[in-house]
Chain A
Amino acid sequence: MAETMELVPDATDPKTYYLNMGPQHPSTHGVLRIRLHLEGERILGADPIIGYGHRAHEKMAENRDYLQFLPNSSRVDYLSGMIYNLAYCQAIEHAIELDVPERAEVIRIICGELNRISSHLLWLGTFVLDLGGFTPFLYGFDDREKILDILDSITGSRLTYCYGRFGGVTMDVDDEFLRRTSDFCDYFKRRLGEFDELVTDNVIYQQRTKDVGVISSDLIQDYALSGPVLRAAGVAHDVRKTEPYGGYDRFDFDVPVGQRGGDCFDRHTVRMEEMRQSLRIIDQALACLPDGPIMAAKVPKRIRPPAGDHYFAVESARGHFGMFITSDGTDIPVRHKLRTPSFVNVSTMPVVLPGTMLADTVAILGSIDIVVPEIDR
């Protein structure tokens, strides 16, 4: 079991060596470990070793009822916790066929998109930090802080939200929230232009990202890539479009795709554009927020999805997040599989990394936007 994979036929070649990048390393964004086989600075092989952040969410789900698992859901991915939290609620609503009031749906979309922007902002900051630019990191955090404050005002938490309930949301939004959100949207539209000037147009930034780490279309089918990585490779696939959930079909937004064949720069432009599209969605949602209840009238006390398999997918900030819940008709699931996008994206690393330079490794890892607890679950 402890046998290690030989990355190249001749691992004893004295010109080559192994480098353990992680689990403690500034650029693996947590406790990811990548065993790199190097010749000088050139990478011959890469073997991601995961599990350092394993918290047994799937086992926990099998040992508690559906409601008790709710706080876990946002801990799966702490950077877009809102999306994961709401996704779990929607999955259960989908399984027990519970209808959500329209107001709650729109509030969910506003919060989800705000969370997507905050996640992308953190990505932008840490990605440029990986490339050695320190300043955009703090700019990104500054703006992200504004989103956290807004979400804090209705959810009471800043990172791992537990805002959704089966059938709606916990708290109604007030005029203050709506005003702050629309103020933020106006402000952030201008800020995005500044980010473009500081980061996107920077010559060194472009040199470091263009034609680096191409995750091209031939890997897509092999690995079932999703999210910005998939769209950067030129496939306009977004779960919000292909299987609209939670009322996304009411809103008008575009799915940006990369123009350069799926390199790091493509993933950058796709995420920048996604932030703009999220702002568009929020603008529309704020304009059409209906009055009404925020919780479904009749929510069963005990959640017992019918026996069988239930699959529900959402578009998280990182890609296709699916939940495969197998129920036997009781209040405790038989199996709750979390199909997380970072897991898939990192599993491509043994194919993508070889042939690049050591400095590209951090660029590529940064560009696919990994969240290690989401890989390990």
Chain B
Amino acid sequence: MTDFPQIFGGHWPGVLAATVAIMGFITVNALMLIWLERKVSARIQRRYGPTEVGPFGLLQTLMDVVKLIGKELVTPDHVHRPLYLIAPVLVFAPLLALLSLIPIDEGWIFHDYDIALVLLLAFSSLNIIGIFAAGWGSNNKYALLGAVRAVAQNISYEIPLLLAVIPIVIMTRSLSLHEIASAQAAYPFILVQPLAAIIYFIAGTAETNRAPFDIPEAESELVAGFHTEYSGMRFGVFFLAEFTHMVIICSVATILFLGGWHGPLLPGWLWFFLKVYGLILVMMWFRWTFPRLRFDQLMSFAWMILVPLALVNLLVTTVVLKL
């Protein structure tokens, strides 16, 4: 198998090219996802959504981004400047590293680490530091409440997330995403691990702070949660991070449970993206259907339902494999 950098001789031009590619993907992907989200929500709500700019309103979000970039970057007086300024970067940066770990097709991967899954889980919990920095540095009670909720929620849901992933690792005896996906050539793991898949997806939705788990930015309670004090492109970066995070959670779900790029007829990468965006559509469907859970209900849902279920699932898996 050829690593992507090796195309360029394994040196820094390859790294650079991959970084640029990922950055480009993040931007285009977020633009399209925001457009998609607006269209999906509009259709659910018997509206049209964006129609004016470009065909089907496709360029609407591009215009919105231009507007956001054109806005003055306002820094409120009362904030802790270093934390306030670095927070959007802290939220966004880990996602870059994360995308480089995802195999899109057989051999289409930036670098196939042996411990990619561990790296992925570690990096994906890093952005909570950025969220907390945003909430704390904003020196605003709503932002702080949002940040505190976000930390509690992310830490709580990390556990069922991990517990749902472990059975797959035990089954494949590998932490490499590429190998896990390759192991599903015959059948996707969701058939043998349905419970783990559901737990992973619920916990993953919670990790992205999306409805019905969007309590850190619950707009009807906390105005805008941790990013209350952010405007312009700084706010845009948080938005970008949320949509990229969705892609990562859904990509990992695809690799772990839906067989990655495996599928009949169509090329592998197309299967991969179909699965990923299918899952994203499900997430959007959640968001526009459900009301929001309350904070304590959310926590007890994680600890009283998801964690025990995941543990039982893990136990059954190990016992079955041992037999």
Contact = CB atoms under 8 A, between A and B. Distances in A.
Nearest to A205: B291
Contact of A26 (B45, B219, B293): B219
A135 B215 contact: no
Interface stretch (A86-94, A297-305, A355-363): A355-363
B223 A25 contact: yes
Interface string A99-128: 000000000000000000000000000001
B46 A358 contact: no
B294 A359 contact: yes
B212 interface: yes
Contacts of A138: 45-47
Interface string A7-40: 0000000000101000001110000000000000
A27 B220 CA distance: 5
A360 B215 CA distance: 13
A207 B294 contact: yes
A133 interface: yes
B220 A26 contact: yes
B290 interface: yes
B197 interface: no
Given A19-B141, A41-B295, A131 B220 contact: yes
A77 interface: no
Contacts of B214: 132
A264 to B, nearest CB: 12
B136 to A, nearest CB: 15
Given A27-B220, A138-B47, A139-B46, A360 B290 contact: no
A134 B42 CA distance: 11
Contacts of B31: none
Contacts of B122: none
Contacts of B296: 41, 357
A198 B289 CA distance: 8
Contacts, number: 77
Contact of B294 (A25, A27, A360): A360
Majority DSSP secondary structure for residues of A touching B: helix
A128 B295 CA distance: 17
Interface residues of B, number: 27
A202 interface: yes
B215 A41 contact: no
B225 to A, nearest CB: 12
Majority DSSP secondary structure for residues of B touching A: loop
A41 B145 contact: yes
Nearest to B218: A132
A128 B294 CA distance: 13
A58 interface: no
A210 to B, nearest CB: 11
A358 B142 CA distance: 11
Contacts of B223: 25-26
B293 A135 contact: no
A205 B46 CA distance: 21
A131 B219 contact: no
Contacts of A134: 41, 45, 288
A205 B211 CA distance: 13
B295 A357 contact: yes
Interface string A126-165: 0011111111001100100000000000000000000000
Interface in B265-306: 288-297
B93 interface: no
A204 interface: yes
Given A134-B45, A139-B45, A139-B46, A128 B221 contact: no
A369 to B, nearest CB: 15
B312 to A, nearest CB: 22
A358 B220 contact: no
B316 interface: no
8 contacts: A26-B220, A133-B290, A135-B289, A204-B290, A208-B293, A208-B294, A357-B294, A358-B295
Given A202-B290, A358-B295, 15 more contacts: A19-B141, A41-B296, A131-B292, A133-B289, A133-B292, A134-B41, A135-B44, A135-B45, A207-B297, A208-B291, A208-B293, A358-B221, A359-B215, A359-B292, A362-B220
